[in-house]
Amino acid sequence: MAGLAEIMEAIAASLDPLTTEVPGLQVTAFWNGGPTPPSIDVYPGGPSGLPVSQAGWEETFTVRARVASPDDVGAQEVLLGLMDVDGAASVITMLRIDPSFGGVVGGSAVDERSGFQPYPGDYLGCEWRLRTIQ
């Protein structure tokens, strides 16, 4: 059974191919307090640790993308590409390729994505809620 850190690392690894589609993209498997945008970080979300059967439980993770200043149209275009539901730069597409992340979890699904959100440091971004089954 995988621990939280191992799961976050597997999720981040599944997003690494986006670095070839988005120049300069930084992907980290832990909460990143000082990103160099564009960036994606993965960290525990809520609610988590919910039993789904006698044999397992559900863990929720936040996948967050941030880009530079919200006034930068080019940065907004990068973020929109990450937010698309399909395509070469789509976070959802990358997460769907292997929902078990190499067998680290039993399965996963993205169940929501936010819209644009401002973040401290003059960043613009969005978040996906990823549910995994252990």
Number of domains in the chain: 1
Domain range holding 61?
Answer: 4-133
Given a cut of 90, whether residue 32 has pLDDT beyond it is yes
**pTM exceeds cut of 0.75:** yes
| pLDDT at residue number 55 | 63
What confidence tier does 125 reach under pLDDT thresholds 50, 70, 90? very high
CB count within 10 Å of CB 2 equals 17
Q: Give pLDDT tens digits for 90-123.
A: 999 999 999 999 999 999 999 999 999 999 999 9
Query: 89 in the Ramachandran plot: left (φ > 0), alpha (ψ -120 to 50) or beta?
Result: alpha
Q: How far apart are CA 85 and CA 14, in angstroms?
A: 16
Question: What letters, b where the CB count within 10 A reaches 16 and e where it falls short, cover 52-80?
Answer: eeeeeebbbbbbbbbbbebeeeebbebbe
Q: What is the CATH number of the domain that holds 92?
A: 3.30.70
Q: How far apart are CA 26 and CA 60, in angstroms?
A: 22
Which two structure tokens, joined as six digits, stand for 31? 């909460």
Which two structure tokens, joined as six digits, stand for 32? 């990143």
Q: Give pLDDT tens digits for 33-67.
A: 999 999 999 999 987 776 666 667 889 999 999 99
Q: How far apart are CA 106 and CA 16, in angstroms?
A: 21
